[in-house]
Amino acid sequence: MAQAAQVTTVATTPAADVAPIQIYLVGDLDYVIPLVFPDYKIHIDDYQITMFGRKIVISGGSAPYLGHAGVLIISGKTGQTKYYEYGRYPGTGPAGRVRVGRIPDVELKGGTITESSLKKTLRDISAKHGQSGNITGVVLRGVVYDKALAWLKAKEAENTKATRQEYDLGNHNCVTFATDLAEAVGFSIPVRTRVVVPTAYMAQFQFSEPDLDYIFAMDTLEITK
């Protein structure tokens, strides 16, 4: 079973370096990084209820505080980087489709990821998929890249299947997609309740795994164990 390695080997370049400080994530283990955009405003459709025998339409709109999620995978040996997400994107069949992001690969230096390249990738993801907001996540490590990519491609292939499971805002959504992948490749994930909210579930996940926090406005990245 893959294990989530604690990211204790985080170091900076020597103080004598005149270049901006780089943080290296050391080792050639692969990365699975479930991500949440905590400030993302999701769209909720109008819905209808019946009260006292009368049908009443409740207006939808943009809902704050729930967030949106995706998952980033990185090959620790090559730096190849992929981003996938699941949501109510346009298309045929039941609601709920997998979408692939076009993002830059991270840069490896001496077998480790440079902070600048990881920030560039996270910034690109946020701008294209996260309404240019902040990112929170957890960093999971293991020999899992090929298995993770195969799982993601299989889920993407289900976009064409009319029998695929339908999107459910409560328990079959963007964050369950990201953490289903983590579980499928062997990582432990927090217990789920009937309603799984991306922001709350990620906060729960960060209690047990190394945290990733990227602040979009300041372009700062912090990974803590």
pLDDT value at position 24?
59
Instruction: Please check whether residue 2 lies inside any domain of the structure.
Output: no
- Inside any domain, residue 1: no
**Domain that residue 147 falls in:** 10-224
Taking residue 7's Cβ as centre, other Cβ atoms within 10 Å add up to 21
pTM over 0.95: no
Whether 3 is in a domain gets the answer: no
**Is 196 buried (19+), middle (13-18) or exposed (0-12) by CB count in 10 A?**
buried
pLDDT given at position 47? 44
Q: Which phi and psi (to 5°) does residue 56 adopt?
A: -125, 130
Residue 101 is assigned to a structural domain of this protein: yes
Q: In this structure, is residue 200 part of a structural domain?
A: yes
Q: What is the mean pLDDT of each run of 10 residues along the chain (225 residues)?
A: 44 36 73 97 58 53 74 97 96 95 94 91 98 97 98 98 93 97 98 94 95 95 87
- Examine residue 4 and state whether it is found in any structural domain, yes or no: no
Number of domains the chain is built from: 1
What is the model's pLDDT at position 5?
Answer: 44
The token pair at 200 is: 């709350």
Q: What is the CB neighbour count within 10 angstroms for residue 206?
A: 18
Task: Indicate whether 5 belongs to any domain.
Answer: no
Kindly state whether residue 59 falls inside one of the protein's structural domains: yes
Q: What is the pLDDT of residue 12?
A: 35
3-class DSSP assignment, residue 192: coil
Please report the pLDDT score of residue 41 as a whole number.
Answer: 86
pLDDT, position 151: 99
